[in-house]
Amino acid sequence: MKAIVTIGCILVAIIIFTYSCQTGNGAGKDEVSYNFDIRPILSDKCFACHGPDANKRKANLRLDIGDSAFLPLKNTKGGFALVPGKPEESEIFKRVSSADPTYQMPTPQSHLGLLTEEQVATIKKWIQQGAKYERHWAFTAPQKPTLPKVGNEAWVKNEIDYFTLAKMEQKGLTPNDEADKERLLKRASLDITGLPPSLEMMDDFLKDNSANAYEKVVDRLLASNTYGEKMAVHWLDVARYADSYGYQDDNIRTQWPWRDWVIHAFNNNLPYDKFVTWQIAGDLLPNANKEQMLATAFFRNHKYTEEGGVIPEEYRIEYILDKTKTYGRGILGVTIECAQCHDHKYDPFKQKDYYALFAFFNNTKEVGFEGDVSQSKPAKNPLLVINDSDRSSLMRFINFKDTGKLTVSVMGELDTARKTYILKRGVYDAPSVEVKPNAIPAVMNYDTAQYPRNRLGLAAWTVSKNNPLTARVFVNQIWQEFFGRGLVKSTGDFGMQGDLPTHPELLDWLAVDFMEHGWDIKRLVKQIVMSSTYRQSAKTSDEKIKKDPENIYLSHGPRYRIPAEFVRDLVLSSSGLLVRTIGGPSVKPYQPKGLWEAASSGRGVLATYKQEHGEALYRRGMYTFIKLTVPPPSMGIFDASNRDQCEVKRSKTNTPLQALVMMNDPTVLEASRVLAQRLMGENTTPQDKIAKAFRLIVCRKGADKELAILKGYYDDQLEAFKNKTIDAGATLAAGEYPQDTKLDANATAALMKAIETIYNLEEAIEKT
């Protein structure tokens, strides 16, 4: 009996020990983890001079690899950087804990700053415990972990919740209850489709008391073709999609059929492995069809110069660098571009590795310059020509009313491989050693028996189940879409300098599960939105803020302002103005006067902004024309990407300029007026009208107090319009949508003002 108890104790001890190995985070813990505790310190403070970059290495000392870190020091006779178990004999510890500026590390000249006391203590402990190195977590293929034990099983709805709840319980946090139905529906609808729920949807959901009511709504949202539009927006950032060439004269280009394909691919639930394969190498697939070739436009969305006098090769190289960066940041989640000029300073990527990756993209037929703006064409070689018959068969998803041909810039391979050289300092005209196409060895070996040395091989390597990055990186991007921040906060950097995952086991579980289930994106999305973690109310409290100010441990639901495009969508949709056409050429809605003209060289068809009329004014935000040199101003104000280069994460700011847009943008004013007109046509009281507008915009029934404040404001404004202290005619003139002159102008204007106020509520454009 006693023996069993003892064994039990040992088992518990082992379990605790193992657990703390995985999640240890500081000197307070028993076991210090190299990956989670030590490497972030070394990477930030030491690797710049003692890391992978051989050219910048000082004192011949390399600390990012155990084998070299344990060698006798070359510059200090008899000394060792690391003596396992003996911090006092380890030069690292002696120097980081020294107060002598001529001896201490990092040196004052490095401007890196000294280690904190806690960091020094952590280093000490790690050395005491044997100074064990581990392979970087993100460069090791994920394994599906077992689900952790939790106390409050009743709260758990699916696997995700085991991981998040275990963390919360460990941190002394309690999860929130589920959000109320109205707010949950708004959240899910905005997250899945980018649009607020319709009144009908709200009513249905409120009435439905069945156990799977929420699931039914989620399925309905996932089946809507607005899902593809929502999901595409993030991918358009990754792909730096725009409607112009960028650079000086910034003329128009036609890449939008590719944008329509992305929407189609998400709606069709094309598995992510195929989604990526087609974009990397659709043209090289056996019997490639035009849809697969179109997908490769992903790598041709970068800027393209039409400035007279450029040196073509300089720009051709620039375009390949851009492709390499986009692949690295957007798909692999690493900062491979740092190795363009020198070996990477933090990650084990050599400059040679960079150009070996670059070589995959270097074999395309494109040239650096096809003439200046006077010879501008809508696409650059190699081209995909899409004709009428393509659009009535395989490519029905392309929305184009004309019968003419469309041309899109796509990828195309040279018959004889172009040689690739390491470019000294990354400069186009300084080639040195030749390299062959090869993917980053530190991530995963590129077995040429399995993978040909072309983009098709690269695609297969990328979506191999043994690739440690691809699934993790994508799952993380999707997580970010729903929670506002990734499990790895540095979405584009899973390397040594990136943030560590807040829930490493969850990330791995999701990544492996995703691959095991055929890279099924809709399934992943459903998994996330069905979890209790996602469904929690967004309420916070002083205590939660104190314990976890950034909500890293997810003890309440996500609450943040929706992205730029969806602010516009919400305004148009709730007012009934939204035109739900999917895809097609981008449109030019209202924009403050003179912006394009002021910045233009005067050349090219985009020198002046020609605002469109009618339906073009009411399309979703993602269809607003993006001229790279002058991106749509209201979008930029709400943190939309400027599409200059691959972007995987938008910032979330709160500025006075955003307030000015919501108060004065003609789109918001027009939407308020049109919604007022519609409601005036209904045979209801002003109270009812205000209540309905509130519900359409905020997506919940207004509380009595809220509606009373708005009614008070309405009465006040009505009085002022009647007394002519303010001008109803001028107020109602907002926007081009026809006015309804049969209505009482004063009452309509007063209702419009109340609605404007609702649009400006903090909660209106917030995911709550």
Partner 1 sequence: MQKEMLEHGLSHNRRRFLSKMSMGLGSVALGSLLIPDLFGKSAEEAVITGLPHFAPKAKRIIYLFQNGAPSQLDLFDYKPLLQKMQGQDLPASIRQGQRLTGMTATQEHFPLAGTVFQFGEYGQARAHISELLPHTASVVDDLCIIKSMYTEAINHDPALTFFQTGAQVGNRPSMGSWLSYGLGSENKNLPAFCVLLSKGKGNGQGVYAKLWSNGFLDSIHQGVQFSSGENPVLYLNNPDGMNKADRRKMLDKLGELNELSFKEFEDPEIHAKVQQYEMAYRMQTAVPEITDTSKEPESIVKLYGPDCLVPGTFAANCLLARKLSENGVRFVQLYHQGWDAHGDLPNQIKGQCLDVDQASAALITDLKQRGLLDETLVIWGGEFGRTNYCQGKLTKDSYGRDHHPRSFTIWMAGGGVKPGVYGETDDFGYNIAKNPVHVHDFHATALALMGLDHEKLTFRSQGRRYRLTDVAGKVVKDLIA
Instruction: List CB contacts of 29: < 8 A, sequence separation 6 or more.
Output: 20, 37
- Name which position in 631, 674, 686, 697 contacts partner 1 (CB under 8 A): 631
The reply on whether position 345 binds partner 1 by CB under 8 A is yes
**Minimum distance from residue 276 beta carbon to partner 1 (Å):** 21
Task: Pick between residue 169 and residue 318 the one whose CB is nearest to partner 1.
Answer: 318
Which of 142-150, 225-233, 285-293, 540-548 is the region at the interface with partner 1 (rule: CB under 8 A)? 540-548
The reply on whether position 338 binds partner 1 by CB under 8 A is yes
CA atoms 686, 691, 692, 693: torsion sign? positive
Helix ranges (H only) for 623-685 are 633-637, 656-664, 666-680
Task: Pick between residue 16 and residue 599 the one whose CB is nearest to partner 1.
Answer: 599
The secondary structure of 181-226, three-state, reads HHHHHHHHHHHHHCCCCCHHHHHHHHHCCCCCHHHHHHHHHHHCCH
Task: Pick between residue 57 and residue 453 the one whose CB is nearest to partner 1.
Answer: 57
- Name which position in 528, 538, 582, 751 contacts partner 1 (CB under 8 A): 538
Which of 3-11, 581-589, 643-651, 739-747 is the region at the interface with partner 1 (rule: CB under 8 A)? 643-651
**Minimum distance from residue 700 beta carbon to partner 1 (Å):** 11
Contact between 483 and 531 under an 8 Å Cβ cutoff? The reply is: no
The reply on whether position 178 binds partner 1 by CB under 8 A is no
Provide φ and ψ at 767, rounded to 5°. -85, 115
* C-alpha gyration radius of the chain: 29
Instruction: Please tell me what DSSP assigns to residue 405.
Output: -
Element (H, E) at 753: helix 745-759
**Which has the closest alpha carbon to 572: 226, 260, 235?**
226
Name residues contacting partner 1, limited to 418-447 (CB under 8 A).
429
**Which has the closest alpha carbon to 185: 572, 698, 563?**
698
**Minimum distance from residue 252 beta carbon to partner 1 (Å):** 14
Instruction: Please tell me what DSSP assigns to residue 762.
Output: T
- Name which position in 351, 629, 746, 748 contacts partner 1 (CB under 8 A): 629
- Name which position in 421, 560, 609, 737 contacts partner 1 (CB under 8 A): 560
Instruction: Please tell me what DSSP assigns to residue 536.
Output: B
User: Where on the phi/psi map is residue 425: left (φ > 0), alpha (ψ -120 to 50), or beta?
Assistant: left
- Name which position in 492, 504, 558, 589 contacts partner 1 (CB under 8 A): 492
The reply on whether position 490 binds partner 1 by CB under 8 A is yes
The reply on whether position 726 binds partner 1 by CB under 8 A is yes
- Name which position in 576, 713, 737, 739 contacts partner 1 (CB under 8 A): 713
Chain centroid to CA 34: how far? 28
The reply on whether position 739 binds partner 1 by CB under 8 A is no
**Minimum distance from residue 713 beta carbon to partner 1 (Å):** 5
Which of 12-20, 385-393, 573-581, 703-711 is the region at the interface with partner 1 (rule: CB under 8 A)? 703-711
Task: Pick between residue 29 and residue 544 the one whose CB is nearest to partner 1.
Answer: 544
- Name which position in 541, 608, 684, 685 contacts partner 1 (CB under 8 A): 541
Name residues contacting partner 1, limited to 351-390 (CB under 8 A).
369
**Minimum distance from residue 709 beta carbon to partner 1 (Å):** 5
Which of 131-139, 282-290, 408-416, 751-759 is the region at the interface with partner 1 (rule: CB under 8 A)? 751-759
Task: Pick between residue 527 and residue 629 the one whose CB is nearest to partner 1.
Answer: 629
**Minimum distance from residue 108 beta carbon to partner 1 (Å):** 11
Q: If you write DSSP's letter for every residue of 40-102 in order, what string do you get? A: HHHHHHTHHHHSS-GGG-STT---SSHHHHTSBPSSSTT-BS--TT-GGGBHHHHHHT---TT
Name residues contacting partner 1, limited to 213-252 (CB under 8 A).
246-250
Name residues contacting partner 1, limited to 652-681 (CB under 8 A).
653-661, 663-666, 669
Which of 293-301, 307-315, 378-386, 505-513 is the region at the interface with partner 1 (rule: CB under 8 A)? 307-315
* Assigned token pair, 603: 């050349």
Strand, coil or helix: 413: strand
Cα–Cα distance, 94 to 104 (Å, whole number): 8
Task: Pick between residue 132 and residue 544 the one whose CB is nearest to partner 1.
Answer: 544
- Name which position in 545, 681, 687, 744 contacts partner 1 (CB under 8 A): 545
**Which has the closest alpha carbon to 606: 250, 253, 242, 246?**
250
The reply on whether position 602 binds partner 1 by CB under 8 A is yes
Q: What is the size of the binding site for partner 1 (CB under 8 A)?
A: 104
Name residues contacting partner 1, limited to 493-512 (CB under 8 A).
493, 495-498
- Name which position in 2, 401, 613, 705 contacts partner 1 (CB under 8 A): 705
**Minimum distance from residue 693 beta carbon to partner 1 (Å):** 13
- Name which position in 85, 130, 151, 312 contacts partner 1 (CB under 8 A): 312
Question: In a 10 Å sphere around its CB, with 0-12 CB exposed, 13-18 middle and 19+ buried, how is residue 404 labelled?
Answer: exposed
- Name which position in 92, 115, 222, 628 contacts partner 1 (CB under 8 A): 628
Name residues contacting partner 1, limited to 132-171 (CB under 8 A).
none
Place of tokens 């008899």: 78
The reply on whether position 639 binds partner 1 by CB under 8 A is yes
Task: Pick between residue 182 and residue 283 the one whose CB is nearest to partner 1.
Answer: 182
Bridge partners of 434, per DSSP, are: 421
**What's the CA dihedral at 178, 476, 410, 641 to 10 degrees?**
70
Which of 193-201, 210-218, 675-683, 700-708 is the region at the interface with partner 1 (rule: CB under 8 A)? 700-708
Which of 289-297, 354-362, 611-619, 723-731 is the region at the interface with partner 1 (rule: CB under 8 A)? 723-731
Task: Pick between residue 412 and residue 557 the one whose CB is nearest to partner 1.
Answer: 557
Task: Pick between residue 307 and residue 615 the one whose CB is nearest to partner 1.
Answer: 307
- Name which position in 346, 354, 358, 474 contacts partner 1 (CB under 8 A): 346
The reply on whether position 729 binds partner 1 by CB under 8 A is yes
Instruction: List CB contacts of 414: < 8 A, sequence separation 6 or more.
Output: 363, 364, 365
**Minimum distance from residue 477 beta carbon to partner 1 (Å):** 15
The secondary structure of the chain in percent helix, strand, coil, rounded to multiples of 5, reads: 50, 5, 45
Which of 5-13, 81-89, 276-284, 760-768 is the region at the interface with partner 1 (rule: CB under 8 A)? 760-768
The secondary structure of 590-632, three-state, reads CCCCCHHHHHCCCCCCCCCCCCCCHHHHHCCHHHECCECCECC
Cα–Cα distance, 119 to 40 (Å, whole number): 10
Which of 160-168, 411-419, 468-476, 537-545 is the region at the interface with partner 1 (rule: CB under 8 A)? 537-545
CA distances from 342 to 173, 257, 338, 426, 436 (A): 45, 38, 7, 8, 18
* Assigned token pair, 246: 């960028």
- Name which position in 201, 709, 743, 745 contacts partner 1 (CB under 8 A): 709
Instruction: List CB contacts of 376: < 8 A, sequence separation 6 or more.
Output: 245, 249, 251, 252, 306, 604
The reply on whether position 728 binds partner 1 by CB under 8 A is yes
Q: If you write DSSP's letter for every residue of 86-126 in order, what string do you get? A: -GGGBHHHHHHT---TTT-SS-GGGT--PPPHHHHHHHHHH
Task: Pick between residue 71 and residue 427 the one whose CB is nearest to partner 1.
Answer: 427
x/- mask, partner 1, residues 108-137, rule CB under 8 A, reads ---xxx------------------------
The reply on whether position 741 binds partner 1 by CB under 8 A is no
Bridge partners of 385, per DSSP, are: 407
Task: Pick between residue 269 and residue 301 the one whose CB is nearest to partner 1.
Answer: 301
The secondary structure of 243-296, three-state, reads CECCCCCCCECCCHHHHHHHHHHHHCCCCHHHHHHHHHHHHHCCCCCHHHHHHH
